Amino acid sequence: MKFYKFTGAGNDFILFNDLNNTVPIFSAKQIQFLCNRHFGIGADGIMILKKSDVLDFEMDYFNPDGSGGTMCGNGGRCIVAFAQKLGIIERHTKFIASDGLHEAFVSYKNIVKLKMADVDNIKKTGKDYFCNTGAPHHIIFTENIDDINVYEEGRKVRYSKRYKENGTNVNFVKIKDNHKIKIRTYERGVENETLACGTGSVAAALTCAEINEFCSGEVTVHTKGGMLKVSFIKQNDSYEDIWLTGPADFVFEGEINL
């Protein structure tokens, strides 16, 4: 099987072209093998680009543990870059993902700007916050972000009684100023810290806006793998016109037997 490898600010993905309905339905065990960094290709997730009758394509996303069903922001940007590489799109696209319709633009140097779903509920939970941006995110603000053991502290929250049924992603965020934050994320499904998380960056940026009470603009998000930008407008209690922007780079392609 032919595969392609892309990375979005260090969030890396294996992509398959299924426009001709030739990609099999992967088992959880096969997905785990493909994403394994020692015995497989290695990735934070798998995406399958499928044919759509009404839009440019459909996006199927799977976590390294074999689970799926949620949106992946950096994955969404990477699959747009993949669609451009395949010649399906030029600079603009509309596609469908698990959380609905998305629009995206590809600009210079593989920078992809992806429109995210509206967000109408940021909840305070104790001293922390919760926000769903196509995937669930628990947000913890801290000044000591570089000293945190993200794996250990993230697992405590991810497997806590509150999130026992479905789990959650866990984000540790430092506010540098109103429009600049630093983030580290424990991703559910990866079950470890990743170099970047698109939906987590959006959740953190919107929560920063909620705390600091600004209704529009752009937040620069510094991740371990690079810089992302989140722009938005707040209408009443809903965040709309949300865009996630950052690099989406082709790494290599190859073939693998399953």
Question: In this model, does residue 237 exceed pLDDT 90?
Answer: no
Residue 76: pLDDT band by 50, 70, 90 thresholds? very high
Catalytic one of 35, 131, 197, 208: 197
CATH numbers and ranges of domains, the chain: 2-105+248-255 (3.10.310.10), 122-247 (3.10.310.10)
List the one residue out of 176, 199, 184, 125 whose CA is nearest residue 149.
184
Instruction: For residue 52, give the DSSP letter.
Output: -
Catalytic one of 35, 72, 78, 208: 72
**In contact, 88 and 104? CB cutoff 8 Å:** no
Distances, alpha carbon 84 to alpha carbons 44, 48, 107, 112, 156, in Å: 21, 15, 11, 11, 40
Mean pLDDT to the nearest integer, 210-231: 94
Mean pLDDT to the nearest integer, 177-188: 94
> Do you know the residue count of the chain?
258
Residue 108: pLDDT band by 50, 70, 90 thresholds? confident
Determine the pLDDT at residue 177: 85
* 155: region left, alpha or beta (phi > 0 left; psi from -120 to 50 alpha): alpha
72 is catalytic: yes
Mean residue pLDDT of the chain comes to: 96
208 is catalytic: no
- CA 108 – CA 224 distance, rounded (Å): 22
- What is the value of pTM for the model shown? 0.96
Assigned token pair, 55: 């839009």
Residue whose structure tokens are 């399953």: 258
Assigned token pair, 191: 């079950």
Output the DSSP codes for 139-178. EEE-S-GGG--HHHHHHHHHTSGGGTTT--EEEEEEEEET
Mean pLDDT to the nearest integer, 155-184: 95
